[in-house]
Structure 1
Amino acid sequence: MAEDLCISNGGKEEKYRMLLPQIKCLIEGEDDLIANLANIAAALKETFHFFWVGFYLVKGEELVLAPFQGPVACTRIKKGRGVCGKAWERAEILVVPDVDAFPGHIACSSLSRSEIVLPLLCAKGEVWGVLDVDSENLNSFDEVDARFLQELCSYL
C-alpha cells in the first residue's frame, strides 16, 4: 500500500470514517508497535491538524513518551497525575474541554487548551499505554472523537 492518506473535506465524523479504514490497512500485517504508533500519530495529525497527538507507554509506575507529532512533550508521567495519568489510573476515556479547569493538569505546553486521552487496553483489560490528543482550542473533543478514537485504539 502507498503511504498516502485520502483525507475528507467533510466534517469530523466523515474524516474519521474515511481515516480509520486507512489506518487499519496501514498497520495490518506490521507487528512493530513503535512503527504502528508513529504512523497512527502522523495520520491523526495530518488529518485533523491537532496541536499534539501521541502515545505514552506504561513502564513500571510511569507513562513514558512514545511516538508523537507536535512540539516537545513531557517525557514521564506518574500514575494518577494529569489527564494521561488519570486516564491510566481509571482505565477510562477522559475528555477535558478546558485543561486549565482540570485538577492537577500537567502543562507540557501552555498552548494546549483541551484534551482527550484514551487508555490502550490489553485483552485482560489492563492499561498498557494511552493515546493523548491536545488542541489549541477549548472544547475541541466530544463523543464523536471518543467513539472513533476508541475504535482506532482497538486496532492495537
Structure 2
Amino acid sequence: MAEDLTILKEATKEEKYQSLLPQIEGLIYGETNLVANLANIAAALKEGMDFFWVGFYLVDSEDELVLGPFQGPVACTRIRKGKGVCGSSWDQNKTLIVPNVDEFPGHIACASASKSEIVLPIIKNDKIIGVLDVDSDKLNDFDDMDHQYLKKILDLLP
C-alpha cells in the first residue's frame, strides 16, 4: 500500500526536490512495470512540486510519441518526432528548457495556460523510450536545477 508523500509546501525548490527524491525511489523500488512507475512519478512531481502539468510521452513508432501517464489538464495524445518541445527533445536527444512556450517555433499548445516547459529524454539501454514533459503556468519557471533533479529522478527508473 502506498503512503502519502511528505509535501514541503513552504520549502525552496531544491529542498522540495531533495525531499521528493527518496520518496520517489521508495515508490518505485521493486516495481518493474514502467507504466506504474511513470504514473507514480508523475503524481509525486505534480503534488510535491505543484507543477501545472507533468507527464510522459512514450515512443510509439519510429516517428511518433503517444501520451503516457500524466497529471494535470487533458493533453495532446500524439506528437510527431521533431514537432513541438517534446518531439524536438526526442529528435535532438537533449533536454530542452523553454522560458516562454509562445516563443518556441512550432510549439504545440495542448493547454493555453502553459507558459514555460522543460522536457527530458528518457534513455534506457542507449535508446530513447520517451520523454518527461513538465509545464508551468508561469514564465521562465525552469532552470538547470530542475534539469539536474528531474534527470536524477529518471535515473531511478529500473
Q: Give TM-score, length-normalised by structure 2.
A: 0.95
Q: What residue is the counterpart of 2:58 in the other structure?
A: 57
Aligned partners of 1:43 and 1:155: how far apart in 2?
14
The residue correspondences of 1:117-156 to structure 2 (distance < 5 A) are 117-124=119-126, 126-156=127-157
Q: What residue is the counterpart of 1:94 in the other structure?
A: 96
Following TM superposition, by how much is the alpha carbon of 1:123 offset from its aligned partner in structure 2, in angstroms? 2.3
Q: How many residues align?
A: 155
Q: What residue is the counterpart of 2:68 in the other structure?
A: 66
Q: What residue is the counterpart of 2:82 in the other structure?
A: 80
Deviation string, structure 1 residues 21-47 (Cα, Å, up to 9, x no partner): 110111010111111111100000001
Runs of 4+ in 1 over 2 A off after TM superposition: none
> RMSD of the TM alignment (CA)?
0.9
Q: What residue is the counterpart of 2:6 in the other structure?
A: 6
SS at match of 1:132: strand
Q: Which structure 1 segments of 5+ residues have no match?
A: none
SS at match of 2:132: strand
Aligned partners of 1:151 and 1:70: how far apart in 2?
22
Identity rate, percent: 63
Aligned partners of 1:3 and 1:117: how far apart in 2?
28
Aligned partners of 1:26 and 1:65: how far apart in 2?
22
Deviation string, structure 1 residues 34-70 (Cα, Å, up to 9, x no partner): 1111110000000111110000000112100000000
Q: What residue is the counterpart of 2:18 in the other structure?
A: 17
- Whichever residue aligns with residue 6 of structure 1, its letter is T
Following TM superposition, by how much is the alpha carbon of 1:6 offset from its aligned partner in structure 2, in angstroms? 1.1
Aligned partners of 1:112 and 1:39: how far apart in 2?
22
Following TM superposition, by how much is the alpha carbon of 1:3 offset from its aligned partner in structure 2, in angstroms? 1.9
Aligned partners of 2:139 and 2:153: how far apart in 1?
23
SS at match of 1:20: helix
Q: Give TM-score, length-normalised by structure 1.
A: 0.96
